[in-house]
C-alpha cells in the first residue's frame, strides 16, 4: 500500500513567506513554528514508483523541503555558547536588585550558526517564562492590555546611529517614531522594554558598528546604556574582537576563550571603561576542527545527524560518515556548519533532480561553494583591517600616520600581532 504524502507542510510552505524575526509578530511566529515542520515520510523507491506522477512530484518537493529544513543540531561549539546564554538569561531574569545586568557577546565567523543558536535559547526561555507567568505580563498595570514580549530580536541598522538604533528597537513593537528627538526616542525605548516585559534584548550584526565613525561610537554608548534598563543584552557579530568593539581582548589557550584584561589607562579615564568591559562576557562560536579524536568524533556525529535527515532512495548507512567522505566534507567546507549544510542541501537537490538519489564526491564536486567570505578563515590571516580612529579636527594637520597591526592565528587562536607600515 502506497504511503500517503502529507500536504499540510507543503501548504504551509507555499501559502506565504514567514515574517522576519525583527518584529513582534515575526518573532512570535518563529517561536511557535520553529519545530513545527513535518519532514517527508521515509519511502522505498518501489513505493515512490507506485505513485501517480503528481504524487511523485509532490513527494520530491517535500523531500527537498525536508533537506533545506533539517533540524538544528547541537555541536560542542554551539552547546558551549547555548549554556552561557541560557545561564545568563535565566539568572538575570530572577534578579530583583537595581544592579546592572551583565550581558553576553557572541562572536564568530559567518555561517557558523551564531544567530540560530542564540534565538533557539531565547525562544526556549520565552516558552518557559510565558508558561511560568500564565502567558500574562507580570509587570503590567492592572486594567490595561499590552503585548508581552520577554524577548526582543533587533537587527543593528546598516548605518548605525543613536536615533536609527532606537528606531530599530521600537520597530520591533510597531511603535511610532516620527518626529521624535533622540532623548524622546531613548525614553520611549526604556518605556517599551519595561511595558512589554522584555527580559532579553538581542542585537544582531553588532559589528556593523565601525568605531572610526563618531555616530557609531555614540550608538555603542547607547547600546551600553540599555544594560541599565534591566534587560539581558546579547550582542551577536562576526569577529567582534577584530572589529574593535572590545579593546585589548586576548585568547586564553587553556580555556579556549577570549578574555578582556583590565585597561592599562584605567587610572587616567576612571573606572567607567573597566566596568563597561566587565559587563559583557565574550564567547566564540568556532567551526569544526579535525585535529583530535574528540574533534573528529564530534564532526562524525554531526554528519550522522545530517545523514539521518536525508530522504534519498539510494542512500546507504555511512554515506556521509564512512570512507573518505568526512575528510572530503571537511576539506570542502573548512568545518563551517553553514557551508556544510548548504553543500548537503544543494547536493541532495542535485541527487533528486538527476535521479542518482545518493551523495558522493563526484556529485558534490559539481556543487560550487566559496570559503572566501562567509567562512573566512582566521588561520589564513583573513581578518578585516580595522581603520584607525580619525584624529580630531584641530590635530588632523599634525597627525602622523598610524601603523596597522594584523593578527596572526594558529589552531589555538591569535598568537601574535605583526606591524605593517
Q: Where residue 250 falls among pLDDT bands split at 50, 70, 90?
A: low
Q: Taking the mean position of all CA atoms in its chain, how far away is CA 144?
A: 35
- If you average pLDDT over residues 56-73, what whole number do you get? 94
Residue 154 pLDDT level (bands cut at 50, 70, 90): very high
Over residues 336-359, mean pLDDT: 96
Compare 313 and 37 and report the one with higher pLDDT. Answer: 313
Check whether 347 has a pLDDT greater than 90. yes
Q: What is the pLDDT of residue 210?
A: 66
Q: Residue 249 pLDDT > 90, yes or no?
A: no
Q: Looking at residues 204-233, what average pLDDT do you find?
A: 77
Please report the pLDDT score of residue 132 as a whole number.
Answer: 85
Cα–Cα dist 237/205, whole Å: 5
**Residue range 240-247: average pLDDT?**
66
CA-to-CA dists, residue 251 to 75, 259, 299, 307, 382, angstroms: 21, 6, 24, 35, 17
* C-beta separation of 45 from 357 below 8 A: yes
pLDDT per residue over 204-217, tens digit each?
998 887 655 666 66
80-94, 116-130, 268-282, 353-367: least confident range: 268-282
Across 155-173, average pLDDT: 89
Position 220 confidence tier, pLDDT thresholds 50, 70, 90:
confident
Band of the pLDDT at 26, cuts 50, 70, 90?
A: very high
pTM of the model: 0.77
- All cell numbers assigned to 142: 492592572
What is the C-alpha to C-alpha distance for residues 220 and 237, in angstroms, rounded to an integer? 13
Q: Provide mean pLDDT across the span 264-278.
A: 46
Q: What is the mean pLDDT of residues 127-150?
A: 70
Name the residue with cell 599634525. 398
> Could you tell me the three cell numbers for 275?
566596568
Average confidence (pLDDT) over 55-75: 93
Residue 47 has pLDDT above 70, yes or no: yes
Q: In the predicted model, is pLDDT for residue 326 greater than 60? A: yes
The whole-number average pLDDT for the span 373-380 is 40
What pLDDT does residue 158 have? Answer: 86
Among the listed ranges 175-179, 345-349, 368-372, 402-406, which one has the minimum average pLDDT value?
402-406
Residue 199: count other Cβ atoms within 10 Å of its Cβ: 24
Q: How far apart are CA 237 and CA 122, in angstroms?
A: 17
110: which residues sit within 8 A by CB, 6+ positions away?
A: 238, 336, 338, 373, 374, 375, 376
CB 354 within 8 A of CB 346: no
Q: Which residue has the cell 511560568?
A: 132
Picking from 94-103, 330-339, 411-420, which range would have the lowest pLDDT averaged per residue? 411-420
Q: How far apart are the first and last CA of the chain?
A: 74
Residue 262, pLDDT > 90, answer no
Percentage, residues of the chain above pLDDT 90: 50
pLDDT at 393: 44
CB 150 within 8 A of CB 130: yes
Q: 17-31, 199-213, 363-377: which range is least confident on average?
A: 363-377
pLDDT at residue 400 above 70? no
Of 193-202, 229-238, 364-373, least confident by mean pLDDT is 364-373
Mean pLDDT score across all residues of the chain: 79
Residue 372 binned pLDDT confidence (cut-offs 50, 70, 90): low
> pLDDT at position 134, please?
64
Give the mean pLDDT of 328-342.
Answer: 94
More confident residue, 248 or 250: 250
Burial of 96 (0-12, 13-18, 19+ CB in 10 A): exposed
Cβ burial 64-82 (10 Å sphere, 16+ → b, else e)? bbbbeebebbebbbbebbb
Amino acid at each position: 500500500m502506497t504511503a500517503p504524502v502529507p500536504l499540510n507542510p507543503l501548504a504551509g510552505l507555499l501559502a506565504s513567506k514567514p515574517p522576519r524575526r525583527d518584529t513582534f509578530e515575526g518573532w512570535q511566529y518563529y517561536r511557535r513554528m520553529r519545530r513545527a515542520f513535518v519532514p517527508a515520510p521515509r519511502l522505498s523507491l518501489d513505493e515512490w514508483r507506485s505513485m501517480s506522477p503528481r504524487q511523485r512530484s509532490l513527494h520530491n518537493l517535500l523531500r527537498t523541503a525536508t533537506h533545506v529544513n533539517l533540524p538544528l543540531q547541537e555541536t560542542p561549539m554551539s552547546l558551549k555558547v547555548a549554556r552561557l546564554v541560557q545561564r545568563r538569561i535565566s539568572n538575570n531574569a530572577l534578579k530583583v536588585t537595581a544592579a546592572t545586568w551583565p550581558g553576553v557577546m557572541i562572536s564568530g565567523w559567518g555561517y557558523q550558526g551564531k544567530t540560530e543558536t542564540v534565538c533557539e535559547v531565547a525562544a526556549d526561555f520565552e516558552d518557559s517564562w510565558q508558561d511560568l507567568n500564565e502567558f500574562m505580563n507580570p509587570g503590567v498595570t492592572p486594567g490595561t492590555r499590552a503585548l508581552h514580549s520577554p524577548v526582543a530580536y533587533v537587527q543593528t541598522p546598516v548605518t548605525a546611529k543613536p536615533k536609527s538604533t532606537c528606531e530599530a528597537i521600537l520597530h520591533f513593537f510597531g511603535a511610532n517614531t516620527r518626529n521624535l528627538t533622540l532623548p524622546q526616542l531613548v525614553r520611549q525605548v526604556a518605556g517599551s522594554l519595561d511595558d512589554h516585559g522584555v527580559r532579553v534584548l538581542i542585537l544582531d550584526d553588532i559589528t556593523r558598528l565601525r568605531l572610526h565613525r563618531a555616530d557609531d561610537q555614540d550608538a555603542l554608548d547607547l547600546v551600553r546604556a540599555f544594560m541599565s534598563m534591566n534587560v539581558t543584552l546579547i550582542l551577536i557579530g562576526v569577529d567582534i574582537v577584530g572589529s574593535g568593539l572590545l579593546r585589548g581582548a586576548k585568547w586564553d589557550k587553556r580555556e579556549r576563550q577570549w578574555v578582556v584584561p583590565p585597561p592599562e589607562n584605567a587610572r587616567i579615564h576612571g573606572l567607567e571603561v573597566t566596568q563597561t568591559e566587565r559587563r559583557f562576557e565574550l564567547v566564540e562560536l568556532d567551526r569544526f576542527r579535525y585535529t583530535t579524536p574528540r574533534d573528529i568524533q564530534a564532526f562524525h556525529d554531526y554528519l550522522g545527524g545530517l545523514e539521518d535527515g536525508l530522504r534519498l532512495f539510494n542512500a546507504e548507512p555511512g554515506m556521509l560518515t564512512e570512507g573518505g567522505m568526512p575528510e572530503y566534507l571537511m576539506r570542502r567546507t573548512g568545518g563551517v556548519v553553514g557551508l556544510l549544510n548548504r553543500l548537503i542541501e544543494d547536493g541532495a537537490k542535485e541527487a533528486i533532480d538527476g535521479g542518482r538519489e545518493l551523495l558522493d564526491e563526484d556529485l558534490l564536486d559539481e556543487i560550487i561553494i566559496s570559503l572566501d567570505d562567509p567562512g573566512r578563515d582566521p588561520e589564513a590571516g583573513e581578518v578585516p583591517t580595522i581603520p584607525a580612529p580619525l584624529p580630531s579636527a584641530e590635530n588632523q594637520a599634525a597627525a602622523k600616520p598610524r601603523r596597522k597591526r594584523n593578527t596572526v592565528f594558529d589552531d589555538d587562536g591569535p598568537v601574535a600581532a605583526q606591524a605593517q607600515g
